[in-house]
Structure formats: structure tokens, C-alpha cells
Chain A
Amino acid sequence: MTQPITGAQMVVQALKDQGVDVVFGYPGGAVLPIYDEIFLQNEIKHVLVRHEQAAVHAAEGYARSTGKVGVALVTSGPGATNAVTGLTDALMDSIPIIVLSGQVPTFMIGNDAFQEADTVGITRPCTKHNWLVKETDALSGVIHEAFHVARSGRPGPVLVDIPKDVQFAAGTYTPKVKANTSRYQPKVKGDPEMLSRLAEAIATAKRPIIYSGGGVINSGPAASQLLRELVDETGFPITSTLMGLGAYPASGEKWLGMLGMHGLYEANLAMHGCDLMINIGARFDDRITGRTQDFSPNSQKAHIDIDPSSINKVIRVDMPIIGDVGHVLEDLLRIWKSQGRKTDKAALSKWWAQIDEWRAVKCLEFKNSDTVIKPQYAMQRLEALTKDRDRYICTEVGQHQMWAAQYLGFEEPNRWMTSGGLGTMGYGQPASMGVQMAHPDALVINVAGEASWLMNMQEMGTMVQYRMPVKQFILNNERLGMVRQWQELLHGERYSQSWSEALPDFVKLAEAFGAKGIQCADPKDLDDAIKEMLDHDGPVIFDCLVEKHENCFPMIPSGEPHNKMLLPNAETQNQITAPGAVLV
């Protein structure tokens, strides 16, 4: 028999057994016993954030850049409610994180005690699963199961709510290997018959496209490798969602660029005109499909997804394959090779000729300027000056996010952290802290909009305290740019509340936090300023003053199909129809 230990000791022991090296958190009354245990050890590093939302986004950034489960620790009541946005964000983007929350003691639950909130009730719809632990004996088993649930199947956020008396009481520790993980075992292998059908479809396809998503990244680095092998083997063009960037290298010759609302012309037209679509770990999100009735009308569709509920949810498919991308691609390639199949080379070269015509449109071209920095130009220069380094990019939400996705190239998975499904302004800055903690020596840049960045700007303090040399690259258009763009397109240029007034002086702000501030307004100075940022060993706020009313194109106006894209310099009035206007 092992010695009984307290619940608080169990928490720390379970985290160590799970290989956790860093926890992002914020203390309070209901988690004091756990903080005491954190104080008494050195293996797990604790990063004191300035707001619990940031702790959760930091855990997300850590998880996305490592493939491991990120951990956040918050107190009861307001600590837990502050975690809700981060949990929802992680749920939408399938990011494995665990939030440990303190709770009032079991005998006070339901009494409206000080800092009591129904945390499992509030977070039930925004977690993959959650637990309220009422007995110390059950605690460590639940934490191990929580890690298992977070990382297995379609990954996602979980929460374990731990009342304070459970943290103080002694109980028996359940080691990781003894924890019960049997009740949650999602299927990882695809149906071989369906895979054979897909192999046959690949052999006969005349206008194929691979449409990959975040599921490839979540499946692990081996899945990205297999995806590359599949592209090499077939010679098929490949596009990806915002979430899937980096699974296939941007420098690869079969790469068409991102698809979707602000995706590339060639990617969207190839999706529209294809006769075989192979969806690998994406979910036919509405940013991707546009108007579903007209979505890729003449194609046979295969869909590889580990989550059965993703299949046929939005788009009916002909070849549903439920399983883990890595396992499925491995089997598919084996079947393909063993059957000695060949693609239709003649048809493919015609298809590529068509794609090259679309590429020749050069949909990312923009009118540059000698006097003001165009945001696209800023992204191009940032790309040019950093692309040789193994760099990690986070973003906030808005136009800058789309420009980053369009103009920065990702060669490897786990290098791109952006809030896709929830579109959470304020995500990027804390996420960049999580990335930097996981990769202390790497170059980590958060491409931000000034408005988003202000939503979690308090975290500059955290970065300075822990000497995280993250670069905050703000494309400052003094506008809620994406909102302004929609108002231009949809609301007769009535810019209701979409400008950023009374902005701080970002250089002084950086200095006030003890960081370095750089401002740049002239395109001629931009390269030197970026180099200065990169050379500085410490956190930097880079205030890049850009064109204020630049629009982000290409764009599929809401409610339109893929082949109705607006290209650069498009007419911006009356582009969105009444039924499109109700959509977001």
C-alpha cells in the first residue's frame, strides 16, 4: 500500500506523471493548497499570467506548438468564468488542454458561497468533457483520464473542478498506468473497403484536389509526412484550411495556398471545379464552403475524419472514412501501392494547365506604395526576413490574420497558431507566450491588429517577468479593420464604431512594461526596423503603422459560392446580397 497523500499533492504528482513541464495559472482562495504544493517543488514551472483567459490561450499555444496537452490552473468563481472563452476556443479548434479549477468545499456547494460558480455546469457545453471531483481517492484517476480524453480521438479541452476540501484531504494516489481510460477509445483505423474505393477514385480522377485541415496537424507529425507522401505519389494539387497550414510545405510545387473566404483564387476555383475532393481532417466549415448548395457541385467527395459527427454534417460525402488521419493515410498508401495503381497522367496535366491559368491571375497582387506601408507589404517583408528561421507565428483575429495566412509560408506543422473556429480577438498574445515557453530559443512572432492586441495587453507584464522574447508585430490600421471592411461592403461605408481611438503610444507602452518598443511608418525603414526587432533579445512591441482602409482580398462575399470571388481592387459596393447579409 502506498502512503496516502493529499489531494493537492495528487494534482502535482499527476501532472508530473503526465510529463507536464509548465502550467499557466492564477491563484486564489480555492486553489491555495495546490499553489502550496507548487511552491514546494521545482520540476513543474508555473507561469503567473495576468488574466485567466490568457492562461487558457497560453495553454493552447503550448499545445498547438508541441502536440502535447497544455495545462491551466485557475481558482473558483471568477477564475473559472474567465477561462470560458479559452475553453470554447479550444473546443472549436480541437486543441488538447486541461483546465484545473478550484471549487468551494463540497459541503458549501449549492449555498452561493463566496466565489462559488457552477463551473461544470457553465463549462459543460464548452469542454469535451468535465468532472467535479468530490472524493480525494478519485482525484488522480480523474486527472489521468482527463489527459487521456483531451488528447485522444478528436482532441479538445477538458476541465477538472476540485473543491478545496478535496485538495486538503488525504487519499490513495492512482498511478497513470492504473487509471481507467477504457471507456473512451475512439476508432482510429479507417474502413479498408472504403479506402479501396478511394484508391480507385484516385486512379480515375481527372480533376482531383486534396483539401487538408487541422486534423492532419492534430494527428501528429507522422500524418503531415504521410500527407506529403500522398501528394508526391499522386501529383495531386493540395489546398488547406486556415487550421491546416504547414502540414504540406508552402514551398511545395503542388501547393495551391489556403482556401476559403479569404483563400487563394486558384485554391477556391480548383475546389469548385474538381471531380474528386479528398478532405483530410477538415470539417467543411462555412468559411470554407461558402454557399453550400453550390459547393463543388460536380465532385465525388471523400472525407477522412476521426469524429463521426463531422461526416455529413454540412456536406454529404460519397466516401466517409472515420479514423485518425495518420492511420488512414498509412493504410491508403499501402493499398494504393499494393494494388499497383496509377493516376491518369494525361488528365492531370490538363488539370494542372487549368490551375496554372488560375494561378496566373496572381490574386495576391496589391498596389504597393512608397509613402505608406501596405499591410500586405509588411507581411511580405516579415516573411522575407524570417523565412529561413524555424519560426512560430501566432495571430490575433481580423484582416491582419488573413494577411498573415496569405503572405507567410509555413513549411512545417505546429508553427502556426491562430484562432480559427471561434475567431477570438485577444488570442494571439497569450498564445505566443505558450509557444515561447515550449520553445524558449525559437523565434516567436504574434502578428496582431491593434484592437485585438489591446484585448490581452496586460500579458506584456508576464512576458517581461519570464523573459519571453516574443515579438508583438502589430499591423496598426487604427481600425477594427475586418469590421470596417464588412461595413464598406455591406453597410454603405457607414463605419459604426469600427475605429480605434485614443490608442496608446505603443513604444511608450512597451517601455512602461520594461520591454522594447519600435514604431515604423515609412516603407523605406521597414526592413531595418524588422531587423532591429529580430535582433533584440527580449520582448518587443512593433507598432507598424499601415494603410488604414486597405481591404483584404481575395474574398468570397458571404452567401456566394467559390467561383464568385472578389479579387484585389474589386468594386466594394453592393457585393453582398440580402440573404448573404444575414450571415456572419
Chain B
Amino acid sequence: MSNLKIEKGSSRRSAYDLRDPNADTIERHTLAVIVDNEAGVLARVIGLFSGRGYNIESLTVAEIDHTGHTSRITIVTTGTPAIIDQIKAQLGRIVPVHEVHDLTVEGASVERELALFKVSGEGDKRVEALRLADIFRANVVDSTLKNFTFEITGSPEKIDAFADLMRPLGLTEMARTGVAALARG
């Protein structure tokens, strides 16, 4: 558990706010939450984040066991270590939640996201888009005379990098799935 390093003495901030925003750095954590796939379960999880003012960077959910009806929700969130601990404890309180794993601290993990990019262009730009796609191992899943639709999988950072390169080459639309993640080994 982290130390909050609460400074004693006065501060002009809210008297009930114990979290010195400068004392702790904001961390990004990927959580895997195993839940019963029942009506309203996603609303409970999302409601927890909005109700208590936590961040959601990305969220994916799908049933992973069709006989037991359990789903895996992967949430990427940010916060100080104290907030991250709270988020995990709060998730653990929800009745249909079975397990909460913090993949960021429970050892190495792999994170993948899938994205679709539509790039419109002509001439050199079109050729350049194809060349970069090749480097990023993106596949062309649809093409017309004006557009390419690329499919790319990778870490969110890789997808961000690809988006940065495609933007000047005519990136017109993008869809991302959010992160799916598993512990290694």
C-alpha cells in the first residue's frame, strides 16, 4: 500500500480533502473485473465510477463463459494510489462482482486494443498510408478508389502512434474497442 504523505499544518484546500494532489502521482491501472452477466451489472460498475468521480479511460466488456454467464470487464482508469485502492475496494463490494484484478500491479500483462481507421487520399499520400500500415502490421479490410480501411491491433500507445501518422495522410474516421488485457504466463 502506498503512503499518502499527508502534510501536517495548514492548507487552503477543502478541510475534508485529505488527498494532497501533489503528494501522489497519478497512475494508470488496468483492472480486470469478473462479474455475473446479469441485467444492470455494467450500469452498477459505470455508476460507481461516475457517482464517486473516478476516471474511465477505456472499458470493454463481453461474456467469457456462456454456461456460467460470467463476463470480463476490462477497465483502464487513472488516479493516485489511494484512489486506485478505493476503486478496487468499491468494485469488490458490488454483489455480482466475483474478482477484481489489478493487472498493472499483479505482474506482467499483455494489453491489446483493436482499431479501425478510414484514410482517404490520392496519389503519394495513398501509397505512403499503405507503406506505414505495412510497418505497423495493419491490415487493409476494405478499400475503394478513395478510401482504405485499416485494421490494427496493439497496445493503446501503438494505436495512438499510428493515428498520429495517419492524420496528415487523410484519416477521416476511427473506431477503437478499448483495451483487452490478460496477465502473462
Q: Is B90 an interface residue (CB 8 A)?
A: yes
Q: From residue A532, how far is it (CB to closest CB) to chain B in Å?
A: 45
Interface flag for A294 (CB, 8 Å): yes
Q: In the docked arrangement, what's the CA distance between A312 and B92, Å?
A: 15
A297 interface hit (Cβ, 8 Å): yes
List residues of chain B with CB within 8 A of the CB of A580.
Answer: 15
The B41-55 residues at the A interface (CB cut-off 8 A) are 43-44, 47, 51
Q: Assuming the A-B contacts A124-B40, A293-B7, are A312 and B14 also in contact, with contact meaning beta carbons closer than 8 angstroms in the complex?
A: no
Cβ 8 A contact of B13, one of A154, A290, A316, A579? A579
Asked if A559 and B15 sit within 8 Å, CB to CB, the answer is: yes
Please state if B15 and A558 are interface contacts (CB–CB under 8 Å). yes
The reply to whether the CB of B141 lies closer than 8 angstroms to some CB of chain A is: no
Could you say which interface size class chain A belongs to? 35 or more
**Is A409 engaged at the interface, CB distance under 8 Å to the other chain?**
no
A228 within 8 A of B: no
CA distance A443 to B170 in the complex (A): 80
Which stretch in B81-89, B114-122, B126-134 binds the other chain?
B81-89
> Whole-angstrom distance from the CB of A217 to the nearest CB of chain B?
20
- Indicate if B108 sits at the interface (CB-CB under 8 A): no
Residues of B within 8 A of A309 (CB): 86, 89-90, 92-93
Q: How far is the CB of B129 from chain A (nearest CB, A)?
A: 45
Asked if A583 is at the interface of the complex by the 8 Å CB criterion, the answer is yes
Task: Choose one: B15, B43, B51; the contact of A560 (CB below 8 Å).
Answer: B15
| B6 and A316 within 8 A (CB) | yes
Whether a CB of chain B sits under 8 angstroms from the CB of A291 is yes
Interface mask (B1-27 → A, CB under 8 Å = 1, otherwise 0): 101101111111111111000000000
User: How far is A315 from B37 in the complex, measured between Cα atoms in Å?
Assistant: 35
Q: Is the CB of A315 within 8 A of B8?
A: no
Tell yes or no: A121 within 8 A of B by CB. Answer: yes
Q: Which segment of A62-70, A125-133, A429-437, A504-512 sits at the interface?
A: A125-133
- Asked if residues A313 and B16 are in contact (CB atoms below 8 Å), the reply is no
In the complex, what residues of A have CB within 8 A of residue B10's CB? 293
A359 to chain B: closest CB distance in Å?
A: 27
Contact of B14 among A308, A315, A316, A582 (CB under 8 A): A582
* Chain B contact residues: helix, strand, loop or mixed: loop
A316-B95 in contact given A293-B11, A558-B15 (Cβ < 8 Å): no
Is A297 in contact with B93, judged by CB distance below 8 angstroms?
no
Interface string of A122-152 (1 = CB under 8 A from B): 0011001110100000000000000001000
Q: Tell me whether B47 and A124 are in contact (CB under 8 A).
A: yes
Which of the residues A154, A289, A307 comes within 8 Å of B16, measured between beta carbons? A289
**Residues of the B chain whose Cβ atoms lie less than 8 Å from the Cβ of A292:** 6, 15-18
A401 vs B6: C-alpha distance in the bound complex, in angstroms? 34
B43 and A121 contacting across the interface, CB-CB below 8 Å: yes
- A297 in contact with B8 (CB, 8 Å): yes
A contact residues around B85 at 8 Å (CB):
312
B9 and A307 contacting across the interface, CB-CB below 8 Å? no
Chain A contacts with B in 243-295, Cβ cutoff 8 A: 286, 289-294
Determine whether B158 belongs to the interface, using a CB cutoff of 8 Å to chain A.
Answer: no
Query: A183-B98, A309-B90, A312-B82 given as contacts; is B15 within 8 A of A124 (CB)?
Result: no
In whole angstroms, how far apart are the Cα atoms of A559 and B15 in the complex? 5
Cβ-defined partner of A149 (8 Å) among B14, B18, B95: B95
A308 x B89 contact (CB < 8 A): yes
Q: Could you tell me how many residues of chain B have their Cβ less than 8 Å away from some Cβ of chain A?
A: 34
CB of B147 to closest CB in A, whole Å? 38
Instruction: Give Cα A154–Cα B11 distance, bound, in whole angstroms.
Output: 34
Residues of A within 8 A of B16 (CB): 286, 289, 291-292, 583
Interface 1/0 per residue, A542-561 and B, CB below 8 Å? 00000000000000001110
Name the contact of A132 in the complex, choosing from B3, B9, B39 (C-beta under 8 A): B39
Residues of A near B15 (CB, < 8 A) are 290-293, 558-560, 579-580, 583
Is B36 positioned at the interface, with any CB of A under 8 Å from its CB?
yes
For the complex, is A347 an interface residue (Cβ under 8 Å from B)?
Answer: no
Chain B residues within an 8 Å CB radius of A132 = 39-40
From B89, B96, B98, name the one whose CB has the most chain A CB atoms within 10 angstroms: B89
CB B18 to nearest CB in A, in angstroms, measures 4
B11 cross-chain contacts in A, Cβ below 8 A = 293
A311 lies within 8 A of chain B by Cβ? yes
Q: A124, B12: Cβ atoms under 8 Å?
A: no
B153 CB to nearest chain A CB (Å): 34
Q: A307-B93, A312-B1 are in contact. Are A293 and B9 (CB under 8 A)?
A: yes
Rounded to whole angstroms, the CA-CA distance of A313 and B9 in the bound complex is: 20
* Distance from A157 Cβ to chain B, minimum over Cβ atoms (Å): 13
- Given A125-B47, A290-B15, A292-B15, decide whether A313 and B95 contact each other with a Cβ distance below 8 A: no
Chain A residue at smallest Cβ distance from B13: A579
- B43: chain A residues within 8 A (beta carbon): 121, 124
A580 to B15 Cα, complex, angstroms: 7
Question: A154, A290, A312: which has the most chain B beta carbons within 10 Å?
Answer: A312
Residue contact B93 to A183, C-beta cutoff 8 Å: no
Q: Given contacts A124-B47, A149-B95, A294-B8, could you give 14 more A-B pairs where the C-beta distance is less than 8 Å?
A: A121-B40, A128-B95, A183-B36, A292-B6, A293-B9, A293-B15, A307-B93, A312-B82, A313-B89, A316-B3, A579-B12, A579-B14, A582-B14, A583-B14
> Chain B residues in contact with chain A, CB under 8 A?
1, 3-4, 6-18, 36, 39-40, 43-44, 47, 51, 82, 85-86, 89-90, 92-96, 98
Between A and B, 10 residue pairs with Cβ closer than 8 Å are A125-B51, A129-B96, A183-B36, A291-B15, A292-B17, A293-B10, A294-B8, A309-B90, A313-B89, A580-B15
